[in-house]
Amino acid sequence: MGKAGLLLFAALCAQGQDWGHYGGDAGGTRYSPLKQIHRGNVTSLKPAWTYHTGDISDGTEFPVKSAFESTPLMVEGVLYFVTPFDRLIALEPETGKQLWVFDPKLDKTKPQMLFANRGAAVWSDGKQKRLFYGTLDGKLWSIDAKTGKAVDSFGIGGSVDLRAGMLETNDKRSFGRGYGMTSPPTVYKDVVICGSIVPDTEAEGPNGDVRAFDARTGKLVWRFHTVAQPGEFGADTWAEGSSKGRGGTNMWSMASIDVKRGIAFLPLTSPSYDYYGADRKGAGLFGDSLLAVDALTGKRLWHFQTVHHNLWDYDLPAQPTLVTVKHNGKLVDAVAQVTKTGFTFLFERTTGRPLFDIEERTVPASEVPGEAAYPTQPFPVKPPPYNRQSMKADEITNVTPESHGYCAKLVEDAVFGSLYTPVGMKPTVLFPGTNGGANWGGASFDPETHTLYVNSMDVGMISRMVKMPEGSKIPYRTRSVGGGRFWDKNRLPCQKPPWGNLTAINLDTGEFRWQSVLGVVDSLLEKGIPPTGTSNMGGSMVTAGGLVFIGATDDSRFRAFDKESGKELWTVKIPASAHATPMTFYSKKTKKQYVLIAAGGGNKYNDTYSDSLVAFALP
């Protein structure tokens, strides 16, 4: 991004008028200085407009379901967002009137995990303005922000084929579920940094290398090998030959940028196959690492591996949050990383030095023949975990007799594991499940109080390892028990509530300020059972008006909490569950602050679908 463009974005975002990045700012804080909407008047919020995308899939017409996970951008008087079918749309922010649509013509008959796209990124040199976003079929598009047309000078006809050069194996099955992007790229100066989604069910496959492209031409600027190759730093963390052709270890979430220092922070994921690792013995860098690189060159500056030799699909799912905290009496620029496991890691940005001690603790061994689970894992001393990490047999749910009976039968022969217990040959109950804990919704940060807000869920997993036929490339695979997620037939978790929380963490001290139950189950409320919390997917936003806004829950509600006390101040029913992260902006035309949320339902947790982007404002 040119200097003029940077200055303009910085000025508008500082005033809180625009929302120029997916996470509000380049550091992903999801904070707004706006305070027209505040504790005293939030209960007066009303829908201002609703836009319907028309992009819905419940799995009947097309082979997979949709998840409306987008967070819009507000840039210089125009809203931009991406639909589950990868269409980029521009709207008038005060009315929701459509200005233009760019349709990359996604083939919706091909299998995907979900139809999902979390958004776009904007670039400007002060003269021209472009939007960059990736698609499920592996294209990086450059779109003129004024016209909605592809920029012909970028790549070929406005796009770069991200699949090119990423398949380093003869196993063509590994492209079966596609190589693409579901999270927005990250723009710094004139480079566009891209992660990817890749299959994680085969050992070999398209690799997860992170790449950066020239914003003007689409030419490759740098590529970081997320699986350390022979001769590179970290190569000795792989058993000989095990890194060759290795799939996974991708960045399917969002990167963050320290604009002042030019540092990109990359949250990486598990090597493939993610439940069996006898063919990839060793810690396996840079799997599940928070990686800091020079944003213009891709040179590694430092890293921290949050899970060694991952056997649980405990990816780093969330955008790192760049924060400033008071530590030992001094202000320190730091990066906070929330995780599926419930841990929050906090590091000084330039050196990677932990601000709170991290202990390597002995964890259980694996009973699977040939497996070599890593003997220790890192446990931060502070902050405490924000979600459940184990359970006992006497903690089976009792919310209803039917749920208790189903869950009790499900675990009759099961082993209740602690955190980092490898899945064994018997059914194994583990917390958290593969979706966390926290997920891609990540955290929001209040710079006034140095508080990090994290939503999480307590949905465990139950599965076992099964020996595969002789000659199989992967000799042992997981098999789910009762569907894999540790819940009953109505998706009510099998342990006693709460099942979802919103947690406020004081990053100065590493202690909780408060923890509030997040979400309700209507059928249980009708029985007189107090709020239990729910599974949730999406994130929060915090404002200077003293509010934390969040959808995420699978109960079709949008909420605002008091950021100081954790009290739920405002709740509104919306067309479907909002599995997305909200944003806010101020309009000079109407002199109003607006709060937007994508309410699409579906995802992995409910069967109600919608195509609604809903804007709220004071009457």
- Structure-block tokens of residue 47: 């829908």
Residue closest to 138 by CA, chosen among 194, 180, 197? 180
- Structure-block tokens of residue 118: 């979390």
Query: What are the start-end ranges of the H helices in 129-173?
Result: none
CB atoms within 10 A of CB 527: 9
Beta carbons of 212 and 149 less than 8 angstroms apart: no
The rounded distance, in Å, linking the Cα atoms of 578 and 277 is 36
CB atoms within 10 A of CB 617: 21
- Structure-block tokens of residue 370: 């040939």
Please provide the CATH number assigned to the domain covering 3-617.
2.140.10.10
Please write the tens of the pLDDT for every residue from 61-112. 988 899 999 999 999 999 999 999 999 999 999 999 999 999 999 999 887 8
Amino acid at 501: N
The rounded distance, in Å, linking the Cα atoms of 73 and 366 is 46
Residue in the block written with tokens 């990090």:
452
The rounded distance, in Å, linking the Cα atoms of 388 and 431 is 6
For the chain, which residues score pLDDT lower than 70? 1-16, 168-177
Query: What are the start-end ranges of the H helices in 244-333?
Result: none
The rounded distance, in Å, linking the Cα atoms of 450 and 505 is 8
Whether the upstream peptide bond of residue 498 has omega within 30° of 0, thus cis, is yes
Query: What are the start-end ranges of the H helices in 372-436?
Result: 401-410
CB atoms within 10 A of CB 588: 9
- Structure-block tokens of residue 492: 């009510």
- pLDDT in the model for residue 524: 97
Beta carbons of 324 and 331 less than 8 angstroms apart: yes
The rounded distance, in Å, linking the Cα atoms of 344 and 437 is 11
Q: Which residues contact 209 (CB under 8 A, 6 or more apart)?
A: 166, 223, 224, 225, 226, 227
CA distances from 246 to 91, 205, 225, 409 (A): 42, 6, 11, 39
Cα torsion 506, 508, 509, 515 to 10°: value is 0
The rounded distance, in Å, linking the Cα atoms of 9 and 489 is 48
The CA-based angle 612-340-336, given to 5 degrees, is 90
Residue in the block written with tokens 């991708």:
250
- Burial readout 466-482 (b: 16 or more C-beta within 10 A, e: otherwise): eeeeeeeeebbebeebb
The rounded distance, in Å, linking the Cα atoms of 170 and 203 is 12
The rounded distance, in Å, linking the Cα atoms of 426 and 100 is 55
**3-class state of residue 49 by DSSP:** strand
CA distances from 235 to 205, 242, 267, 307 (A): 19, 10, 19, 17
The rounded distance, in Å, linking the Cα atoms of 549 and 53 is 23
Would you list the domain boundaries of the chain? Answer: 3-617
Amino acid at 163: R
- pLDDT in the model for residue 5: 53
Beta carbons of 65 and 356 less than 8 angstroms apart: no
- Compute the chain's Rg from CA coordinates: 23
Beta carbons of 70 and 582 less than 8 angstroms apart: no
Beta carbons of 585 and 17 less than 8 angstroms apart: yes
Amino acid at 39: R
CB atoms within 10 A of CB 328: 6
- pLDDT in the model for residue 426: 95
The predicted model scores a pTM of 0.96
Query: What are the start-end ranges of the H helices in 504-598?
Result: 522-525
- pLDDT in the model for residue 111: 79
The rounded distance, in Å, linking the Cα atoms of 114 and 529 is 33
Residue closest to 18 by CA, chosen among 614, 597, 616, 593? 593
- pLDDT in the model for residue 174: 46
Sheet holding 428-430, edge to edge: 415-416, 428-430, 461-467, 476-485
Based on the number of CB atoms within 10 Å of its own CB, is 148 exposed (0-12), middle (13-18) or buried (19 or more)? middle
Q: Which residues contact 351 (CB under 8 A, 6 or more apart)?
A: 302
The rounded distance, in Å, linking the Cα atoms of 186 and 147 is 22
Beta carbons of 470 and 463 less than 8 angstroms apart: no
CA distances from 193 to 55, 99, 210, 299, 570 (A): 27, 28, 7, 13, 37
Residue closest to 259 by CA, chosen among 318, 189, 336, 323? 189
- pLDDT in the model for residue 595: 98
